[in-house]
């Protein structure tokens, strides 16, 4: 089995339980297909290329260049390579030996994948609409053969014509039937999750490629996604404003945006170019941000104004603001939580934590997600005895950090590191972003 690792720019092979790298320099490797023992892979980036890669040390062979985000490759019965072009809304084809790229379908809703069916038609998934089309290469006729929901990522079709689709937005897998019905195979979940914010619209979840809301009855409702116009990129940190009527978002591009609660597609830009940022917390009418990549804590008192509050940290992960205005920051690399003073000084509040990430104020103390020990710890402000609130949480990966990925050049630049956020709502319910299993854990007072 061959796997295109999109955010790590490589193609790997799995055989007899052993992985090995086939190609490790294919930026944006995503669409992949094997035909007559030959491996083809496309670069899912603007102006990308399609290559044939080899199991030995031969360099990759260029099949087509300057293709707008080729994805979901397949070889048709005509021995031509078909690819979905989500950015352009097209399906194109090219000879497997190289040549001119020909557009065969246009005006589609974010086509995401192509597969060759047993009837010789090319099946095309439409990520924008959730439909699946069948295209006849001989007559150019198209037919809708399945209906899912938006956010589709990939599809496959068996030798007896059964159709299966997957979703990048929530990891779900379904079988689609010709009569419009579907069968759930893998249930939808969260792909991160990262930041959490208790707002007047419910508990909002920053989930990387998309967003979700947890309602009062703890139901998970999917909202917007990265392909929606105005969505603020690959979302990471999240906090509610002081009145919980708005929310602030950090993304992987170093942006901070302000939104009305639950609305992800009409942002007000507060800062850009901050580098890798994760946690964010409300402070007055503005926010404080953890500059994970720069080792800084930044204050944004208003849109367009950035103030350095502290520097010299190793990897600040999250920030929290106490009722008296004190700023707390978790440093996951040093295993500390520190208090940032008004003159940029830092005082260690706790120094024996193992990978502390998400932090939040809970009454007269701090709640800390200690990822390295997979537990939630309460640290009182007065320095009295700490308390373990919950342990054996599904965060990290067996007590260790989940891997950092390199990102997708020109689209979702990395590094993208793990981050388990924490939030406390007005009723005292504590929420944890459980990134190991793609869920949100709610801890309610009894």
| Domain boundary assignment for the chain | 2-186, 196-443
State how far the Cα of 338 lies from the Cα of 381, in Å rounded to an integer. Answer: 12
Yes or no: say if 19 and 30 are a contact pair by the CB < 8 Å rule.
no
Mean pLDDT, rounded, for 316-339: 96
For residue 172, pLDDT over 70 is answered with yes
For residue 399, pLDDT over 70 is answered with no
In terms of Cβ atoms closer than 10 Å to its own Cβ (0-12, 13-18, 19+), residue 359 is buried
Torsion angle of the four alpha carbons 286, 287, 291, 294, in this order, in degrees rounded to the nearest 10: 30
Per residue in 214-224, pLDDT tens? 988 888 888 88
- Tokens 């009894």 found at: 446
Mean pLDDT, rounded, for 293-304: 96
For residue 121, pLDDT over 90 is answered with yes
Mean pLDDT, rounded, for 258-275: 94
State how far the Cα of 431 lies from the Cα of 418, in Å rounded to an integer. Answer: 17
For 68-95, the DSSP string reads SS-EEEEE-TTSEEEEEETTTTEEEEEE
For residue 409, pLDDT over 90 is answered with no
Which one is the CATH code of 2-186: 2.50.20.10, 3.40.50.300, 2.120.10.30, 2.70.150.10?
A: 2.120.10.30
For residue 370, pLDDT over 90 is answered with yes
Beta bridge pairs of residue 182: 176
Full-model pTM: 0.90
For residue 342, pLDDT over 90 is answered with no
Mean pLDDT, rounded, for 430-444: 93
Mean pLDDT, rounded, for 331-354: 93
Q: Residue 400 has what pLDDT?
A: 72
Long-range CB contacts (within 8 A, 24+) of 412-417: 412/7, 412/233, 412/234, 412/252, 413/252, 413/253, 414/7, 414/252, 415/276, 415/293, 416/7, 416/208, 416/234, 416/252, 417/276, 417/278, 417/292
State how far the Cα of 121 lies from the Cα of 118, in Å rounded to an integer. Answer: 7
Q: Residue 351 has what pLDDT?
A: 92
- Tokens 């793990």 found at: 418
Fold for the domain defined by 196-443? Neuraminidase (2.120.10)
Instruction: Give the chain's mean pLDDT.
Output: 94
For residue 226, pLDDT over 90 is answered with no
Q: Residue 412 has what pLDDT?
A: 86
State how far the Cα of 347 lies from the Cα of 415, in Å rounded to an integer. Answer: 29
User: In the structure, what pLDDT confidence band is assigned to residue 81 with cuts at 50, 70 and 90?
Assistant: very high
Please determine whether the domains at 2-186 and 196-443 fall in the same fold group of CATH. yes
Token pair for residue 18? 């052993």
Q: Residue 144 has what pLDDT?
A: 95
Per residue in 375-392, pLDDT tens? 999 999 998 999 999 999
Q: Residue 5 has what pLDDT?
A: 93
- Tokens 């590094």 found at: 415
Q: DSSP state, 397?
A: B
Rounded (5°) CA angle 118-119-120: 90
For residue 61, pLDDT over 80 is answered with yes
In terms of Cβ atoms closer than 10 Å to its own Cβ (0-12, 13-18, 19+), residue 18 is exposed
372: three-class secondary structure by DSSP: helix
Q: 214-231: b or e for each residue (b if 16 or more CB lie within 10 Å)? A: beeeeebebbbbbbeeeb
């Amino acid at each position: 089995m061959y796997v295109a690792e999109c955010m790590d720019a490589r193609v790997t092979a799995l055989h007899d339980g052993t992985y090995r790298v086939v190609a490790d320099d294919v930026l944006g490797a995503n669409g992949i297909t094997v035909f007559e023992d030959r491996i083809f892979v496309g670069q899912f980036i603007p102006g990308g290329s399609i290559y044939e890669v080899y199991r030995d040390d031969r360099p990759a062979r260029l099949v087509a260049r300057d293709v707008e985000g080729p994805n979901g490759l397949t070889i048709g019965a005509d021995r031509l390579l078909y690819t979905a072009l989500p950015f352009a809304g097209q399906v194109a084809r090219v000879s497997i030996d190289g040549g001119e790229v020909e557009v065969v379908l246009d005006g589609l809703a974010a086509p995401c994948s192509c597969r060759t069916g047993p009837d010789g038609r090319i099946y095309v998934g439409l990520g924008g609409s959730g439909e699946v089309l069948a295209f006849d290469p001989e007559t150019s006729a198209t037919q809708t053969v399945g209906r899912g929901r938006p956010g589709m990522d990939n599809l496959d079709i068996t030798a007896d014509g059964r159709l299966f689709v997957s979703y990048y937005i929530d990891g779900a897998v379904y079988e689609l039937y010709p009569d419009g019905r579907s069968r759930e195979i893998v249930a939808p979940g969260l792909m991160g999750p990262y930041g959490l914010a208790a707002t007047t619209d419910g508990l909002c979840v920053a989930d990387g490629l998309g967003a979700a809301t947890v309602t009062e009855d703890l139901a998970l409702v999917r909202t917007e996604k990265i392909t929606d116009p105005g969505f603020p990129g690959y979302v990471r940190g999240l906090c509610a404003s002081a009145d919980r009527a708005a929310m602030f978002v950090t993304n992987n591009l170093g942006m901070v945006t302000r939104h009305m609660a639950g609305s992800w597609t009409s942002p007000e830009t507060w800062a850009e170019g901050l580098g890798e940022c994760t946690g964010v917390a409300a402070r007055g009418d503005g926010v404080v941000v953890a500059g994970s990549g720069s080792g800084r804590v930044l204050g944004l008192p208003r849109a367009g104004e950035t103030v350095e509050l502290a520097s010299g940290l190793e990897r600040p992960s999250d920030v929290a603001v106490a009722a008296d205005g004190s700023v707390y920051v978790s440093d996951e690399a040093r295993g500390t939580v520190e208090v940032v003073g008004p003159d940029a000084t830092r005082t260690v509040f706790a120094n024996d934590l193992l990978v502390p990430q998400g932090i939040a104020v809970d009454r007269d103390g701090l709640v800390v997600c200690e990822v390295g020990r997979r537990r939630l710890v309460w640290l009182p402000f007065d320095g009295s005895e700490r308390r373990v609130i919950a342990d054996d949480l599904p965060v990290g990966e067996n007590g260790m950090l989940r891997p950092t990925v390199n990102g997708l050049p020109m689209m979702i630049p990395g590094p993208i590191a793990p981050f388990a956020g924490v939030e406390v709502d007005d009723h005292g319910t504590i929420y944890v972003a459980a990134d190991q299993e793609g869920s949100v854990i709610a801890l309610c007072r009894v």
